Copies of this chain bind each other. A is one copy, B any other.
Amino acid sequence: MDKQGLGLIETRTMDVSKPGGLSLEHGGRLDPVTLAYETYGKLNRERTNAILIAHALTGDAHAAGFHPGAGKPGWWDAMIGPGKAFDTNKYFVVCSNILGGCKGSTGPSSVNLKTGKPYGLDFPLVSIHDMVDCQRLLADHLGIEKLLCVAGGSMGGMQVLSWMVRYPERIRSAIPISIGVKHSPQQIALNEVGRQAIMADPDWNSGDYYGGPPPARGLSLARMIGHITYMSDDSMKEKFGRQRKDGADPFKFTADFEVEGYLHYHGENFVKRFDANTYLYITKAMDNFEAVEGRALHESLRGIDVKVLAIAFKSDWLYPAYQTKEIARACKLAGIEATYCEIESTYGHDAFLLEIEEQTLLISHFLKKVYNGYEVMSDYAI
C-alpha cells in the first residue's frame, strides 16, 4: 500500500446547475454554477467508501496532495492520504469547494452571463444549505448514492450539520468538528467587524472593484481580526511572547511586536488569494446559518440513521467546546449514536488543522467501525 502521500493532484470542476439553474434558499436562481472539487483514492465497486470533506471559511477544494510546482500540500494533507485519518488506501475522499467562493466555484467574482461582468453585489445571498445542495449534486455526478461520511471543521462543520438535517438518507456518518448549531452574537459580532473593515475600504467601491485595485487594506484587516480568533491566549504566548521585531521601523505605530508583524504578514498574503466580496457573502452565510430553524435540533434528527463523531478543542474560544457538545447532546436526545470528544490543545480554533495525532486516532477508529458496520460509541475524552 502506498504510504508515500498522494503526489500531484488536480482540481476539477463541474456544473451543478443543470438543468434549469440552482434554486437558492433565500430566493433566486443561479445559472451556471461551477463547483470545484478534488478526489483522492478510489471509489470501490459498491460505491460505499466515499467520504466528503467540507472546508472552512477561507479553505478550498485542495485539501490534500500537491498542485504542480507548489511547495505546500493541501490544507488538510496531514489528515488525508495513504495511512492517514482519512485513509485513501481504503476510502475515496472528495473535497468540495463552496458556492459563493473564489477558488474555482461560482461566486461574486464570477462573470454574470447576463451582464458579461463579475457579479459583485448582484450575486445573490447564498446559504450553507445552498452549498450543501451543490455538494449533493456533486455526489450524484460522481455516482455516490450514500456517502460513508461527511466531515469538516469550523464552517465545514456547518455543512456537516446541514447534511445531517437535510440529507440524512445520503450519509452513513458525520464528523462535525469545532462548530455549533448556530452562531452566537459574539461570533456574529466578530464576523461583522471583518465585514465592516472591508466595506470601509474606499477600494471596495460597493463591491464593484474587479478590474481595479481590490480593497486590500480592508480585507487584510478582516483577516487579522480572524487570525486572532483562530489562535488562543496560550498559543499566542507560546509563539510570540512579547518579542519585539528586529529592525522595526522607527515610525511610532509600525508593528514592532512580533505578533503584530505576523498578523500584518498573514493579512497581506491573504489578499493575494482571496476575494473580499466572497468574504462578505460567506461570513453572512455563516451568521445566518441555523442547522434547523424554529425547532430543536434533536427533533429534526429523530429517526435518522447516521453515526456521529463530534470533536472539539478545549482552548477554542471562537467555537467554544460547549457548542460542539450541544450537537452531541442533541444527537443523543434524538437517539442517534454519537461520540463527543474534547481534545486538550492550546492551539485554539486552529487546533482542528493542527492536532493531527489525536484526531487521526479518533477518526480512523470511527470510520473503520462505520465502514465495517460495527457499533461505535460512548463518550470519551483524550
Q: Looking at the assembled complex, report how far the CB atom of A238 sits from the nearest CB atom of chain B, in whole angstroms.
A: 9
A218-249 toward B: CB 8 Å interface, digit per residue (1/0)? 10010011011001110011011110000000
Pick the residue among B186, B201, B260 that contacts A233 (CB under 8 A). Answer: B186
Q: Looking at the assembled complex, report how far the CB atom of A180 sits from the nearest CB atom of chain B, in whole angstroms.
A: 11
Q: Is A269 an interface residue (CB 8 A)?
A: no
A320 near B185: Cβ-Cβ < 8 Å: no
The dominant DSSP class at the A interface is helix
In the complex where A218-B200, A252-B125, A320-B233 touch, is A185 in contact with B241 (Cβ < 8 A)? yes
Pick the residue among B184, B193, B224, B257 that contacts A237 (CB under 8 A). Answer: B184
Q: Which residues of B contact A252 (CB under 8 A)?
A: 121, 125, 280-281, 284
Q: Is A209 an interface residue (CB 8 A)?
A: no
Number of interface residues of A (CB under 8 A): 50
Q: Looking at the assembled complex, report how far the CB atom of A318 sits from the nearest CB atom of chain B, in whole angstroms.
A: 10
Q: How far is the CA of A287 from the CA of B255 in the complex (A)?
A: 11
Q: Is A47 an interface residue (CB 8 A)?
A: no
Chain A residues with CB under 8 Å of chain B are: 121, 125, 182-186, 188-190, 192-193, 195-197, 199-202, 217-218, 221, 224-225, 227-228, 231-233, 236-237, 239-242, 252-253, 255, 257-260, 263, 280-281, 284, 287, 290, 317, 320
